[in-house]
Amino acid sequence: MAPVPIGKKRGNENDKGDCLDQSWNRRTTEGRKGKPFPRVESHLCGRRRLMARVGYFDGTDPLLLAKLAAEGVETLPLSNGFDGHGKDVNHLGKGEVSVVVGYLHKVMPAGQEHLKPVDILFACKNFDIPVVLVVPAALREKARKILSDAGPNVLVAAPDELETQIKRHL
């Protein structure tokens, strides 16, 4: 079927068909009044990255996330596969986030599950995405033992060190 010019009817002139003025539906590079749309570059299309992005599990300090956002860092909610908080952490792609942040218990599956933290953080290990997990300073060594097989890109930080650790990876 041949394209119909905007404002013209399809069919014969006596036909009471609808007007096909669908200028809103055309693909165009111009916005209203002929002004071009602002160019937006995507993180996922292989184009140049404009901003750093932090992926975070549910419960991450909202004031810290707000501070990062005010400084121009994007934030992406992540799910551990059980809580449904955001995008599943195992569905992350290379370069999609600069760092993943959350509390240790978010990567510790429930007892009946036959998973380990390395299974939940598989994509992070595969794509060398750093993971910063929050643990009280007094329990840091115990946490490192639990995470020993998770890989060198999984770091443990006390709550007061979290911002510094995040910015190290941006």
Residues across the chain: 170
> Domain ranges in the chain?
53-168
The pLDDT assigned to 32 comes to 52
The SS3 assignment for 24 reads helix
Look-up of token digits 């934030």: 75
pLDDT at 156 over 60: yes
The pLDDT assigned to 74 comes to 95
pLDDT at 51 over 90: no
pLDDT tens across 94-117, in order?
999 999 999 999 998 877 667 888
> Does domain 53-168 match CATH 3.40.190.10?
no
Contacts 24+ apart (CB under 8 A), 80-86: 80/106, 80/107, 80/109, 80/120, 81/120, 82/109, 82/110, 83/57, 83/58, 85/57, 85/58, 86/58
What is the number of other CB atoms lying within 10 angstroms of the CB of residue 91?
Answer: 11
Span 15-34, average pLDDT:
48
The pLDDT assigned to 114 comes to 79
Q: pTM for this one?
A: 0.69
DSSP code for 121: T
Range scoring the smallest mean pLDDT among 1-15, 37-51, 132-146: 37-51
User: How many angstroms separate the CA atoms of 60 and 48, rounded?
Assistant: 28
The SS3 assignment for 124 reads helix
